[in-house]
Structure 1
Amino acid sequence: MDIVALLSDPAAWAALITLVILEIVLGIDNLVFIAILSNKLPPEQQSKARRIGLALALIMRICLLLLIGWLVTLQTPLFDLGITGAPGEHGQPTFETAFSGRDLILLVGGLFLLWKATKEIHHNMEPDDHSGEMFDKNKGVVQVSFNAAIAQIIALDLVFSIDSILTAVGMTDQVPIMVTAVVITVGIMLVAADPLAKFIEKNPTLVMLALAFLVMIGLVLIADGFGFHVPKGYIYAAMAFSVAVELLNMVKRNRRKAALATEHIA
């Protein structure tokens, strides 16, 4: 199908809109990770790191789309340990040990995300422990080097990109639609990255909540690598509910501060 035919095809537009929405939802965890990591850089480098991280995510996803034939082969099992879980409600095993390239990437990515999120939680819980880390005494936060931040962003971009593209492949076989959806999604993420990072930085309680999300996502990636597929709707519903509760707590704290300030003035 040529480009003109795609532009005049309502089904193509429907697929594009659906893909953009799906890619935005799937990209939230990636964006949260970039925001938390970039906030540990010096202020003058934070925005640059976010732009570079998202630009690399765009390049990586487009390259994967152009190598879509190879990407699909990642779902072919490479080896099998010969162990399967008990049959589930539909007769399928609850987990598998026939590992494909995609499974191995998800396992490694999940373990990395668990390690990184746990390490960040430790730094938040033990603010006086800065062993082996750069520390900004003025801001009271642990910092990372720019190159280290970019390297970690690239590593997680790869994991999220493969999962995202394989989801897109399951929805349409038109590469132009997938490329357009990826470009639009990353463009939206570029616009949202700085406000999200600043919002997280100004509200420290959200940092812990976001790190808890990353732990959960890491566990989901590991489970997916073992063939135990957790419906993404459950994950994002839990995240949305937690954010809504925290926003209510923020409103309550702000109103309490305003009331106390009024009392002091009076």
Structure 2
Amino acid sequence: MDSLLTLAADPAAWAALLTLVVMEIVLGIDNLIFISILSNKLPEAQRARVQRMGIMLALVLRLALLGTVAWIAQLTAPAVTLFGHAFSWRDLILLGGGLFLVWKATSEIRHHVVHAEEVRDKASTTVQLTAMAAIGQILVLDIVFSVDSIITAVGMTEHMPIMFVAVIAAVTVMLFAANPLSRFIDRNPTIVMLALGFLLVIGMTLIAEGFGSHVPKAYIYAAMAFSAFVEALNMLVRRANSKRMVSAEQ
């Protein structure tokens, strides 16, 4: 208890907490986009429940992994050597998750391209997907993102209470943001392709990280933010054109 009070009185600890919370929220964006896209393929009555379950699974996994920090640290040690390159368990997990994300994003992009005519009819775009299948796919990515998130947390601070608070705060933000993000993506079909493009980039980044090529996250998120800004401008232009057409018809 005394150690917690000492930690709470330390300004450096608060700075570390704030930095780590922001970092965990940023890292959680990838997870949140995937959950939103996948849940939108379900009947509307099931979406909120699947979103909450997926995010709560992410929280449970992160807290469980925090309880095994010593084991998590060992994941960065070389485990196998293939073609003269040493891979750690973390590398293999990132490779597997990256390949899964690339496959999922490309299959979804192909579906939207092949069924471009059906996109106009929302009812026909819903692929048959059960809630359990969606939760299973979310769980796979939760594992990948959780390992990456916890290793990042361990590298930023040595204080376990700070890690726990940061993870809980970040997942709480995800919990509140999931439903609005899902509705926004559902209402704007063009955003779906942009989000799938984000997932494709994230998947390739995970693969590169798995092969030992560090890709600065700042570059990735800056590119994503710029793309989102351009798409927002396109949405404003389409809305203005739509209003002009309505005015002209009147």
TM-score of the pair, normalised by structure 1? 0.90
Q: Distance in 1 between matches of 2:31 and 2:166?
A: 16
Matched, 1:145 2:127: no
Matched, 1:185 2:185: no
Map 1:73-222 to 2 at 5 A: 73-81=74-82, 83=84, 97-127=85-115, 138-222=123-207
Give the Å deviation of 1:6.
1.3
Q: Distance in 1 between matches of 2:113 and 2:159?
A: 47
Aligned to 1:24: 25
Matched, 1:56 2:57: yes
In 2 relative to 1, CA 15–59 (structure 1 residues): closer, same or farther, beyond 3 Å?
Answer: same
RMSD over equivalenced CA pairs, Å: 1.6
Verify the 8 A CA contact 1:58 1:186 in the aligned structure 2: yes
Q: Distance in 1 between matches of 2:137 and 2:125?
A: 22
Moved over 4 A (4+): none
Q: Distance in 2 between matches of 1:162 and 1:137?
A: 36
Q: Distance in 1 between matches of 2:59 and 2:125?
A: 33
- 2:73 aligns to what SS in structure 1? helix
Verify the 8 A CA contact 1:42 1:143 in the aligned structure 2: no
Letter in 1 for 2:102: L
Give the Å deviation of 1:82.
5.3
Aligned to 1:257: 242
Higher helix proportion (structure 1 or 2): 2
Give the Å deviation of 1:137.
8.0
Per-residue CA distance 1:19-58 (angstroms, 9 max, x = gap): 0101111111110000000000000000000000000000
TM-score of the pair, normalised by structure 2? 0.95
Verify the 8 A CA contact 1:20 1:181 in the aligned structure 2: yes
Matched, 1:230 2:231: no
Per-residue CA distance 1:150-202 (angstroms, 9 max, x = gap): 00000000000100110111110111100100000110111110000000010
Q: Distance in 2 between matches of 1:129 and 1:76?
A: 50
Verify the 8 A CA contact 2:46 2:131 in the aligned structure 1: yes
Give the Å deviation of 1:143.
3.2
Give the Å deviation of 1:139.
4.6
Identity of aligned residues (%): 56
Q: Distance in 1 between matches of 2:25 and 2:111?
A: 29
Letter in 1 for 2:165: T
Q: Distance in 2 between matches of 1:229 and 1:140?
A: 37
Comparing 140-149 with 57-66, which one deviates more in the overlay?
A: 140-149
Q: Distance in 2 between matches of 1:200 and 1:138?
A: 15
Q: Distance in 1 between matches of 2:156 and 2:213?
A: 21
Please list every run of 5 or more consecutive structure 2 residues that lacks an aligned counterpart in the other structure: none
- 1:98 aligns to what SS in structure 2? strand
Verify the 8 A CA contact 1:80 1:98 in the aligned structure 2: yes
Q: Distance in 1 between matches of 2:142 and 2:171?
A: 12
Aligned to 1:247: 232
Q: Distance in 1 between matches of 2:44 and 2:83?
A: 51
Per-residue CA distance 1:35-85 (angstroms, 9 max, x = gap): 0000000000000000000000001000000000000000110122353xx
Give the Å deviation of 1:7.
1.1
